[in-house]
Amino acid sequence: MPILRIGLLLMFAALCLVSAGISYARDKPYRTATVAKGLEHPWGMAFLPDGRMLVTERPGRLRIVSPDGTISNPVSGLPKIAAVGQGGLLDVALHPDFKNNHLVYFSFAEPGTGGQGTAVARGRLEGNTLKDVKTIFRQKPKLSGGLHFGSRLVFAPDGTLYISMGDRGRMERAQNTRNHQGTIARINDDGSIPKDNPFANSQDALPEIYTYGNRNVQGMALNPRTGIVWAQEHGPRGGDEVNILKPGANYGWPVITHGIDYDGSIISKDTRKPGMEQPVLHWTPSIAPSGMAFYDGDKFPQWKGDLFVGALKDRHLRRVKLDGDKEAGQEKLLEELGERIRDVRSGPDGYLYVLTDSPDGQLIRLEPK
């Protein structure tokens, strides 16, 4: 009888976990391989055609990591970077025609009049140097402080570049389309404004803006099934969101939110209002999400099409099972590492890669057992 009772209790506990929408697989289908370590607060990564990887370090260095784990000296040619608070060298992306033009794009906190602001520059990679570096986007205006820079970069199938930005800790700015704080911008690969941008001809909004009402978008990814960009917002105490981007849409921050402020005060009593988008899902309490990716490889067929999000506060990788554009369950991975997961990418080799955010950060590959 005692054995039967224990079995029933275990079954009940498992049912409770399933009902909460999160599963904890005992037999994980993966093992981890450390590709490289000794990276200082790595933030973003991009896969080069020859099997090497570009990895950013938030203090302001760009590295090239070889398949054997060798880390290059810092790539030269970067502009002045403000490594202030959450700012520094952030994301990195390759031009869709990188094989021919060798153009690398990167986002960073740029110092200037008024403080710092998220900016995007591009340069041509030759050896261990970026040449002809040019800043093609600057967040307006620059503000003091070290909070909420964003910032992820995603090229869409039409060749336009999406740039996510935070509200810089000034939440009221996210509803003002005359500034870039709390927005996602969309530009052409040379920095010009796409003619079909939602505010391209508006007198009341900056023409680069694609969405607004965003708090601090530290994760953004292209859904390979639809070709549409998704983004997640790092909320305050609760209210982390995953959103599907729509041109000109208002995602509500801080007018609607599931979160409260860090001091416990109420930001808004409303979680929905007409004209403001609802998230695909939200995490309350917060998991502190960062990088995100859709898995489109062949090494883990059971994960095909699922969304993966790095969790900083909860120190795990969150798998979000999808049924079309709706959540169909969640699973926690990599809890055994005990590390803040800063970024996650689906590699061209079919594996899943993550970066851990620490002074001795690691580049880790998930492989099938």
Catalytically annotated residues = 148
Work out the number of other CB atoms within 10 angstroms of the CB of residue 192: 11
Q: Would you state the torsion angle of the CA atoms of residues 30, 349, 361, 170, taken in this order, to the nearest 10 degrees?
A: -100
Which residues touch 240 (CB under 8 Å, ≥6 apart)?
Answer: 232, 233, 234, 259, 282, 283, 284, 286, 287, 288, 289
Residues in the chain: 369
**Do 363 and 353 touch, CB atoms closer than 8 A?**
yes
**Do 176 and 205 touch, CB atoms closer than 8 A?**
no
Burial class, 318, CB count within 10 angstroms (exposed 0-12 / middle 13-18 / buried 19+): buried
Name the 3-class secondary structure at 6.
helix
**Do 253 and 231 touch, CB atoms closer than 8 A?**
no
Which residue bears the tokens 């530290």? 218
**Do 269 and 251 touch, CB atoms closer than 8 A?**
no
Cis omega (within 30 of 0) for bond into 151: yes
**Do 172 and 179 touch, CB atoms closer than 8 A?**
no
